[in-house]
Structure 1
Amino acid sequence: MNKSDLRQSILDVLEQKLKVAHRSMKRAIESATDEETIPEHKYDTLALEASYLAHGQAMRVQESEKEIRLFRDLVLPDAPEKVVLGSLVTLLDCDEQQQLFFAAPCEGGLKVSFADQTVTLVTFESPLGKALKGMQVGDEVRYQAGVNTYYYEIETIS
């Protein structure tokens, strides 16, 4: 599986997310500056609430732009022996089912369809990411999320 192509698929999803954030921000700003939101009395907070929403949407745009930069700048390791940032990891669960995970700098939990498979992004801040970091092919990965404990075996790292 070509990780450069996978990164591009992830970037495509993030670019779409950014477009949605831009549209939402634009609508929120328009609402905050609309004549209809001018306060009619001292207890009318519609304009204030609209400005808070516009600010939140602007922060969402900034966060989306930052995530895109992180993925564009991500150095993809060629043949890592251990799980590092940018690794594509195939895990086998207890039922011998394969699951693909990409060690990402952000957007943990995002699922991307790529080459007729689902790849889940995982960050090293997550329970699974912490368990995977530095592991090698053949290692057993065990992590706990809530009251559940999960077990995997690392099949491949690329």
Structure 2
Amino acid sequence: MDKFLLQQQVLERLADDLLQADQAARVAHETATHEENIAENKYDTLGLEASYLATGQARRAEAIREAMADWRQFRPRAYDPGLGIQIGALVCLVDADDRQQHLFLGPNGGSMKLQSGAQLVQVISSDAPLAQAMLGKGEGDEVLVQVGSIRQQFEVLRVD
């Protein structure tokens, strides 16, 4: 798997998300400011609700822009066994039932699933609990993650 191709896929997906968020913000703003949505009484809140929605969509669009900037600046490096798993690593984990999962650790804002050839790759943020549990680990190491009452255990099969 090519890390740089995965990075480009993340950027493409974020660009699509940004287009959708911008469009949703525009529509909500138009709804909020349309003359037919002027409140006639205190119970007529369509314009106010659309205004809140427009603000939320604008914030979402800004968060996506920030994530895109982080992903553009991101330079995945080759795996260094001396440092263990770091941001930019491609990791193959296996659980107790021999189910494998492929993960790409990246900057914030890129949590998504991507297809790389026949392989499904989960992109996770460096702040994700699983990413935090993997940092510094190497091939053959055990990774434990406690999320709420669920405890998950994995073995690191491969790191690129």
| TM-score, normalised by the number of residues in structure 2 | 0.90
Cα RMSD (Å) of the superposition? 1.6
Range with bigger deviation, 42-51 or 125-134: 42-51
Match of 2:57 in 1: 57
Deviation of residue 43 (structure 1)?
4.2
User: Within 5 Å, which residues of 2 pair with 1:3-82?
Assistant: 3-81=3-81, 82=84
Range with bigger deviation, 39-48 or 13-22: 39-48
Structure 2 CA distance for aligned equivalents of residues 130 and 150 of structure 1: 14
Deviation of residue 123 (structure 1)?
2.4
Match of 2:120 in 1: 118
| TM-score, normalised by the number of residues in structure 1 | 0.91
* Alignment CA distance shift 1:92-1:116 (3 Å): same
Unaligned 5+ segments in structure 1 are none
Percent of aligned pairs with the same amino acid: 37
* Number of positions where the alignment pairs a residue of Structure 1 with one of Structure 2: 158
- Runs of 4+ that moved beyond 6 A: none
Deviation of residue 109 (structure 1)?
4.4
* SS of residue paired to 1:92: strand
Deviation of residue 85 (structure 1)?
0.9
Does the 8 Å CA contact 1:91/1:98 hold for their aligned counterparts? Answer: yes
Structure 2 CA distance for aligned equivalents of residues 149 and 20 of structure 1: 36
